[in-house]
Amino acid sequence: MAYSAAMKQAIGAVREQLADAGFGLADSRFAHHGVHSVDPHAPLVLVACSGGRDSLALAAVAHTVASAWGMRCGAVIVDHGMQPGSALVAQRAAAQCDLLGLTPVLVRTVHVRVGGEGAEAAARDARYEALAAAARELGAAAVLLAHTRDDQAEGVLIGLIRTGGVDAVAGMPARQTVHGVRFVRPLLAVSRAQTTAICMDLGLEWWDDPTNGDAFAPDEPLPADYPLRSRVRHTLLPFLNEFAGRDMAERLAQGARVARRDVEWLDECTSRVFDECVRLERRGVSCEARIDATRLATQPQALRFRVIARVLAICAPGSGTAHVDAVEALISQWHGQGPVQLPSKHSANRKKHVIRVCEDVTHANRRHSRQD
């Protein structure tokens, strides 16, 4: 079969990312030309398919690569139930995955509980939980996500708008573990134009999320109640392309790849220092941390902040940059100041060389006097 240029590049990208994730030829028979049946016990990868152009293109490409390597390739479609007709969209996506030859193909319906972080974040959390559960149920080796180069660029801009810092510039990792399941993003070097071309070449009918704002003219701004990602895609990124006179999605994605290497090294260093300086005590759903302030003070400032941010993410979810700064000041600017109030009725309190992060100051002081 003759593949288009877009299909060839996407196949190469998927092969490279799967190889980097430790996958390869699962059966020596597939090293030779001919028709071979895939072993029913061969490694299974699952494509997270929404029915959009990116995930349908990934389904086609991943199935092609898996078939050539003697691996199995299935799909999971998550219906969030947040838009009219979502069940029909999920059924159509499943039908197209079936036609492409993916098996098994599962449809999972989730209930999205919208909290303080908004509907988009709540839907994402529910989706990852459903995908991870399906992977565990089927014994899948990995779940493949269809984020493209354009998604990476948009994510970098959103991160800079919301938080900033090197982690924002680094964007999404090509591989990560969520809920104990390995997730791989093999299309981060592939553009949305290329996934569109693949779907058109293969006659795949994709679904466009109406919140993307595709119905609006390019020079017409999206309403403020549209998701930030949609407004970045529709207005900000095209403006940057015109302003810079180049494809800024490619440039931002390239920068993310470089920054990701730095972030991964920082994360490794952070894990080492965390193990040396922090003791966690878990009690059911809550936890308490003891930070050795004297030892952590000897580390570079960048690592101090990252260790503290990791502690607060575990023990006091919802903490922001200001909270990290305030706890770090208990080390770098220590002069006997009082406790730092944190979200979820937690606090950080220093006594002698130990900083305790726990549910309340009274509890921290009481436990501190017993153990120090």
| Within a domain: 75 | yes
| Within a domain: 51 | yes
| Within a domain: 79 | yes
The CA radius of gyration of the chain, in Å to the nearest whole number, is 24
Strands 181-184 and 142-144: parallel
Full strand arrangement of the beta sheet holding 175-178: 105-109, 72-79, 44-48, 142-144, 181-184, 175-178
Euclidean distance between CA atoms 257 and 259, whole angstroms: 6
Residues 23 and 154 in one domain: yes
Euclidean distance between CA atoms 99 and 83, whole angstroms: 25
Residues 82 and 181 in one domain: yes
Spell out the per-residue pLDDT of the chain, length 372, in tens: 679 999 999 999 999 999 999 998 877 777 766 556 788 889 999 999 999 999 999 999 999 999 999 999 999 999 998 888 999 999 999 999 999 999 999 999 998 888 767 788 888 999 999 999 999 999 999 999 999 999 999 999 999 999 888 999 999 999 999 999 999 999 999 999 999 999 999 999 999 998 899 889 998 999 999 999 999 999 999 999 999 999 999 999 999 999 999 999 999 999 999 999 999 998 777 789 999 999 999 999 999 999 999 999 999 988 999 999 999 999 999 999 999 999 988 999 999 999 999 987 555 455 445 545
Residues 179 and 310 in one domain: no
Euclidean distance between CA atoms 95 and 75, whole angstroms: 11
Residues 187 and 331 in one domain: no
The dihedral built from the CA positions of residue 171, 175, 180 and 181, taken in this order, carries a sign that is positive
pTM: 0.88
| Within a domain: 239 | no
Query: Which own/partner pairs from 230-234 qualify as long-range (CB within 8 Å, at least 24 positions apart)?
Result: 232/154, 232/157, 232/158, 232/161, 233/150, 233/154
Residues 32 and 179 in one domain: yes
Within 10 angstroms of residue 115's Cβ, the number of other Cβ atoms is 10
Residues 165 and 306 in one domain: no
| Within a domain: 267 | no
| Within a domain: 215 | no
Give the residue from 179, 207, 235 where a domain finishes: 207
Residues 53 and 195 in one domain: yes
Give the residue from 188, 207, 226 where a domain finishes: 207
pLDDT for position 368: 46
Residues 143 and 21 in one domain: yes
What total number of domains does the chain contain? 2
Distances from the Cα of 74 to the Cα of 13, 46, 71, 105, angstroms? 19, 5, 10, 6
Distances from the Cα of 278 to the Cα of 183, 273, 296, angstroms? 28, 8, 9
CATH code of the domain containing 356: 3.30.465.60
| Within a domain: 258 | no
Residues 201 and 339 in one domain: no
For 149, the token pair is: 């180069």
Q: Which of 298, 300, 323, 297 is nearest to 310 (CA)?
A: 323
Distances from the Cα of 147 to the Cα of 29, 184, 297, 314, 372, angstroms? 32, 10, 39, 27, 50
pLDDT for position 364: 43
The count of C-alpha atoms lying within 13 angstroms of the C-alpha of 119, restricted to the half-sphere facing its C-beta, is: 10
Give the residue from 159, 192, 207 where a domain finishes: 207
| Within a domain: 244 | no
Residues 296 and 178 in one domain: no
Residues 22 and 166 in one domain: yes
pLDDT for position 237: 96
Q: Which domain holds residue 290?
A: 284-371
Q: Which residues pair with 72 in a beta bridge?
A: 44
CATH code of the domain containing 67: 3.40.50.620
Question: Would you give the DSSP letter of residue 209?
Answer: -
101 and 67 Cβ atoms separated by less than 8 Å:
yes
Residues 167 and 314 in one domain: no
Amino acid at residue number 77: I
